[in-house]
Amino acid sequence: MKFFNFIHSKKKSQYENLQDDILNCLGKSLKDSELSSFISKYQIVCDDKYDMNLFSCTNEFISFQNKDQRKQTIEEFHILKNKKWLPYNIDENDRLENILDKLGQPDLFDFDHHVYWYYDKLILISFENIQNQKSHFKKITFSDSLKNKPSDEELCQWRDARLNAVSKPESKSFGYNSKWIIIKSSDISAVLKSLNTNENDKCSWTEGFKHATRSGNGFFISQIHERLIIVHGWGTPVLENSCEYFNELSRSLGEIYYFENDNKTPFAWAFFKDGITKRAFKEEYFKTILNIGEETEFEKTQKIQLERAQLLSKEEAYSSDQDIRKEYRYYMSEQVLKIADNWILNPLNLESKQLPSEVFVSRSPR
């Protein structure tokens, strides 16, 4: 037992200064000695995945990255749930109610992303669902942006605004930060069966949107018109791996239209009919990874490929770490919606249609 305690304390001791080290490195550059020492001390591996001087650095439970080629500063350190080290006496099995007991009420909260903000501690804590006291926490982030704490009056106004917002009915429209499929069919039962969705598993649109996010990893299905069915969510099949799958569905169900619009990356559009991929395009991290079929007349009219090339080669003035190639990403995001509008339907306009109050939901298997 004594030997075990010795080993356990030894493992703990190597992280006893980790919190101070993280705080010391917030806002520092990859070129600074403090960050170089940090990377070496905690056995961090850094990788420039896309050859763009955008480095992702990780070890077993720490991750951080620079988000701008010119300004190499690190604005956030992410601590994944682990058994080795967590700040502020947080335990890996803590739920939201436990963290409230330990840290008190947050300065701000975000219902959309399920995050608590603690300015004085410089941390953001993400949960499975901040409206459920039994939710486990998912990740803790030290953020340099929290050094500028708003006034108590501003925080109070912000909290009131967020509470008022969630008390109102949410829109059923979407299109940004979204992935969706539209099927020309009136047979909702056949669509549910083809996508392995239980027809007895229904929820509100608001609840359906929670499952449709990247973190939710599911999707929902709804009949939005007599002959149009929409499937919305990041849990749907990935385009570049599933063209044959969508071809088969188009034989049995009808024409299929596929769109991805992540605002940052990826962007995609595709059209399947009678078992044939008529057109499919997808890019990820500013590189084309799928390009099947000839451009449609609308794509040619928009001169999308020419505009892409010009915007990709354009030197943009530094705006912020979040906004690399901002003009390009804005252009591509709008093009996805314009193509959807020209081909079949822009989901931003769904609110103007008579829609069911509930949707069929396919939940994440996790």
Amino acid at 142: F
Q: Is the dihedral of CA 282, 288, 293, 298 positive or negative?
A: positive
- The per-residue pLDDT for 99 is 94
Tokens at 335, concatenated:
């093009």
- The per-residue pLDDT for 156 is 85
Closest CA to 96 of 122, 129, 119: 129
Residue burial 172-211, b: 16+ Cβ < 10 Å; e: rest: bbbbeebbbbbbbbebbebbbebbebeeeebbbbeebbbb
- The per-residue pLDDT for 7 is 39
- The per-residue pLDDT for 365 is 53
- The per-residue pLDDT for 1 is 40
**Phi-psi sector, 159: left (phi>0), alpha (psi -120 to 50), beta:** alpha
Would you list the DSSP string of 46-99?
A: EE-TTSSS--EEE-SSEEEE---SS--B--EEEEES-SS--STT--TT-BHHHH
| Cis peptide, bond prior to residue 106, ω within 30 of zero | no
- The per-residue pLDDT for 142 is 97
- The per-residue pLDDT for 165 is 63
For the stretch 26-33, contacts whose Cβ atoms lie closer than 8 Å and that sit 24 or more positions apart, written own/partner, are 26/74, 26/75, 26/77, 26/122, 26/142, 26/143, 26/144, 26/147, 27/73, 27/74, 27/75, 27/144, 27/147, 28/73, 28/74, 29/71, 29/72, 29/73, 29/74, 30/55, 30/66, 30/72, 30/74, 31/72
Q: CB–CB of 212/234 below 8 Å?
A: yes
**Angle made by CA atoms 330, 332, 336, in degrees to the nearest 5:** 120
Closest CA to 190 of 149, 227, 217: 227
Please tell me the distance from the alpha carbon of residue 219 to that of residue 359, in angstroms, as a whole number: 10
Q: At what angle do helices 304-313 and 326-343 cross, to 10 degrees?
A: 170
| Ranges of the chain whose pLDDT falls below 70 | 1-13, 49-50, 165-170, 316-323, 365-366
N residues, the chain? 366
Please tell me the distance from the alpha carbon of residue 184 to that of residue 254, in angstroms, as a whole number: 5
For the stretch 152-160, contacts whose Cβ atoms lie closer than 8 Å and that sit 24 or more positions apart, written own/partner, are 155/107, 155/108, 158/108, 159/108, 159/109
Would you list the DSSP string of 263-305?
A: SSS-EEEEEEETTEEEEEEEEETTEEEEEESPPPHHHHHHTHH
Q: CB–CB of 200/221 below 8 Å?
A: no
- The per-residue pLDDT for 319 is 56
- The per-residue pLDDT for 9 is 43
Q: CB–CB of 341/257 below 8 Å?
A: no
- The per-residue pLDDT for 273 is 97
Chain-centre distance for alpha carbon 340? 21
- The per-residue pLDDT for 10 is 42
Backbone angles phi, psi at 102, to 5 degrees: -80, -40
Q: CB–CB of 349/171 below 8 Å?
A: no
